[in-house]
Structure 1
Amino acid sequence: MEESPNVPPPFSYRFSPNVPELLQGLKCSLAISTYQTGKVIIFSPKDQDSLVQLPRNFNRPMGMAISGNKWAIATRDQLLVTSNAPGLAANYKPNPNTYDALYVPRVSYNTGTLDIHDLIWAKDKLIAVNTLFCCLMVNSDEFSFKPVWKPHFVSELMPEDRCHLNGMTLENEQPKYVTALGATNTPRGWKEGMLTSGILMDVESNEIIMNDLPVPHSPRLYPDGLFMLLSATGEVVKVDPQTGKYDVLTKLNGFLRGMDRVGDYLFVAMSRLRQGSSLFKEAPIAKESVHCGVSIIYIPSGQQVGFIVYNNTVEELFEVKALRNTLRPNVLNMDKGVHQQTIVTSDQVFWTEADDKKS
């Protein structure tokens, strides 16, 4: 009998040899959200030659926002806010003396299923792209959400995903630019021309400043300019909002969605378009979209200088975020109640025993 070929274990991946050293030099780890597998996954440099992967279960995670000690995650029907309590990390019972950061759930807003995409901290306020209702929103203690802006062409806030509003970036702590897949005002009206009808809008003026974009995502405004992903063509572009034109920084073999930056390096999330998927099968990148993972781009040259790519299991990512100043972070979900065994004050931390172990 012939031996069956070796099958790699689930969530196996490969990476370019320079990635661990690069992350160490940038003093960061990477977190990705993959709604397809229901996980947030952290990649950290174990040493200069190897990485360690830490997956955590969340219910359809998509947008993520990190600011200081706070890490927010948008799930299927919640906005979860976690906070880093590094003092707890050393005594984390399953792996003591392993982690240098431990993000613990603190607040959960029950939003209902809003299909939240991009998520950003603006000082102490969490602003989200509410794709189902085609608006920008903030969380509320009374309601599922509080709308703060909508495109001028959307006549009313209804749960109809009229334009597929998906991306957002800030300027001076206020929403500045957003992306959508069409300037449409009917239920899922964006689907008809979605590959070529994307738009970039100025939130302050509520004007469309770029049309006919091939599935734009992840606008990110940095001190040296506005960057954006064109998912249907696999392009990372730099935009001039004044002229409505862009220059291509690089082109990748993946459906691009999710981007962050540390120094001169961009981290870009790539997805592999699934066989049989009808939504983007006619996209220019469809046949070339063979990788799922993270591409590392050196901005001055526009060249890919590193990558992390999945061999199996993971096909679609939504977001990638850099966890700065931590080389081995951990995040707790709420599945097993481990977070309920933590007590954190302004100057002390404590692990408590689980209730079922008390006499």
Structure 2
Amino acid sequence: MQTHSLPPFSCSISSNMPELLWSLGGTLAITTYQAGKLIFISSVNNKEIIQLPRQYDKAMGLAVHQNKLAVATQYEVQVLANSNDLAKNYGAKPGSYDGLYLPRATFYTGEIDLHDMAWGNEGLWAVNTRFSCLSLINEEYSFKSKWIPSFITDLTPDDRCHLNGMAMERGKPKYVTALGSTNVTKGWRSKVQNGGVVIDVESKEIIVSGLPMPHSPRIYDGKLYALCSATSELICVDTTAGKYEVITKLNGFLRGMCKKDDILFLGLSKLRQNSSTFRDLPINREALSCGIAAIHLPTGKQIGFIHYENSVEEIYDVQFLDNLRRPSILNTLREEHRRALVTETNSFWSINE
């Protein structure tokens, strides 16, 4: 009996996921640094999921603001902007897309291991993991350092605490997560299972400690949520009492979170079995699938899922592109982007003479 291998990026989905995405009126954007892709996941006609992957080497943090999108890669940050007008005539079948993200700027940061990113009042913020600081993406330097934890003494590229997550409030960073509060090169590895912290950016105080690999802090409706990756738990943090409540527990290394209405979309990754950092985690035998979980926040119940069968094993970030049911994207590897001309008042596809 002849068997056929699955096509790339094959996935199984819960029966309600197409309808859920359609009803929310938008598209999921995920990054997978292991596969080097930024992937748009859209619902078509309420019944079908369609994916659009684009190559971005070691794609990590995603930032979304109005019509802009930024993606952190191994050596660069690329900023893109959506053109609804050009989307109408893009592709083999004009009218297929309602948005088209086009590259607008590339910042050559070098390999500084950027994690979470977000636009704020001062520009594009990024968690600079290698230098243990919060930074602004800058056209003059590799980055502009804006904040470091109180326990970090030097601005050097040695990943002292594995600063990774950033929660924004009123246009500026409010809380960050780190895998440790150590001040030596990769010192966080010694207590990777329970050395994680949440830090108040303004006061620099550690408000919660002893966390199992915290990632993706987010403020929703005035409450701070985060993902405890090592235990696969979604938590809500009491920032005053220094405690947290477990909202739900899943099977997978949790990282990447966004919210639309009452629904949270969480990224789940497989564990790297050959990594000494991951193989002893409590969820070692449970984190066997990679994908997206849809959680109904008021009840904490999982109401939908996407599970990758191949190609994707690790997810870093998850964002929601509002009011775009089926957008497309052009990276700089595709020559088409050079023909896309957008002004303040109009847009054109140039014609090669």
The TM-score normalised by the length of structure 1 is 0.96
What is the DSSP-based 3-state SS (H/G/I as helix, E as strand, rest coil) of the residue aligned with 1:209? strand
Query: Could you tell me how far apart the structure 2 residues matched to 1:118 and 1:93 are?
Result: 32
Alpha-carbon displacement from aligned partner over 1:289-332 (angstroms, at most 9, x marks no partner): 01200000001110000011101121000001111011001111
- Residue of structure 1 equivalent to 2:16: 18
Kindly provide the amino acid, as one letter, of the partner of residue 103 in structure 1: Y
Alpha-carbon displacement from aligned partner over 1:28-60 (angstroms, at most 9, x marks no partner): 110110000010111100122111011111111
Please show how residues 1-359 of structure 1 align to structure 2 within 5 Å: 3-123=1-121, 125-354=123-352, 358=353
Kindly provide the amino acid, as one letter, of the partner of residue 26 in structure 2: C
Q: CA deviation at 1:123?
A: 4.1
What is the DSSP-based 3-state SS (H/G/I as helix, E as strand, rest coil) of the residue aligned with 1:340? helix
Query: Could you tell me how far apart the structure 2 residues matched to 1:334 and 1:312 are?
Result: 26
Which stretch of the first structure deviates more once superposed, 181-190 or 117-126? 117-126
Kindly provide the amino acid, as one letter, of the partner of residue 40 in structure 1: L
Alpha-carbon displacement from aligned partner over 1:70-107 (angstroms, at most 9, x marks no partner): 00111111111100111000111444211000010001
Q: CA deviation at 1:275?
A: 2.9
Conserved in 2, the CA contact under 8 Å of 1:195 and 1:280?
no
Query: Could you tell me how far apart the structure 2 residues matched to 1:304 and 1:40 are?
Result: 24
What is the DSSP-based 3-state SS (H/G/I as helix, E as strand, rest coil) of the residue aligned with 1:192? helix
Query: Could you tell me how far apart the structure 1 residues matched to 2:5 and 2:101 are?
Result: 34
Query: Could you tell me how far apart the structure 2 residues matched to 1:123 and 1:45 are?
Result: 33
Which stretch of the first structure deviates more once superposed, 99-108 or 345-354? 345-354
Kindly provide the amino acid, as one letter, of the partner of residue 240 in structure 1: D
Q: Number of aligned pairs?
A: 353
Alpha-carbon displacement from aligned partner over 1:115-141 (angstroms, at most 9, x marks no partner): 000001114611000000000000112
Alpha-carbon displacement from aligned partner over 1:138-197 (angstroms, at most 9, x marks no partner): 011211100000001110100000100000011211111000010011111111111110
Query: Could you tell me how far apart the structure 2 residues matched to 1:292 and 1:180 are?
Result: 23
Cα RMSD (Å):
1.1
Query: Could you tell me how far apart the structure 1 residues matched to 2:173 and 2:93 are?
Result: 40
Which stretch of the first structure deviates more once superposed, 334-343 or 286-295? 334-343
Query: Could you tell me how far apart the structure 1 residues matched to 2:102 and 2:138 are?
Result: 21
Query: Could you tell me how far apart the structure 2 residues matched to 1:336 and 1:48 are?
Result: 30
Query: Could you tell me how far apart the structure 1 residues matched to 2:23 and 2:120 are?
Result: 28
Give unpaired runs (5+ residues) of structure 2.
none
What is the DSSP-based 3-state SS (H/G/I as helix, E as strand, rest coil) of the residue aligned with 2:182? coil
The TM-score normalised by the length of structure 2 is 0.98
Kindly provide the amino acid, as one letter, of the partner of residue 157 in structure 2: P
Q: CA deviation at 1:263?
A: 0.8
Which stretch of the first structure deviates more once superposed, 328-337 or 250-259? 328-337
Kindly provide the amino acid, as one letter, of the partner of residue 227 in structure 2: L
Q: CA deviation at 1:19?
A: 0.8
Q: CA deviation at 1:26?
A: 0.8
Query: Could you tell me how far apart the structure 2 residues matched to 1:4 and 1:148 are?
Result: 59
Conserved in 1, the CA contact under 8 Å of 2:192 and 2:277?
no
Alpha-carbon displacement from aligned partner over 1:321-345 (angstroms, at most 9, x marks no partner): 1110110011111012321111101
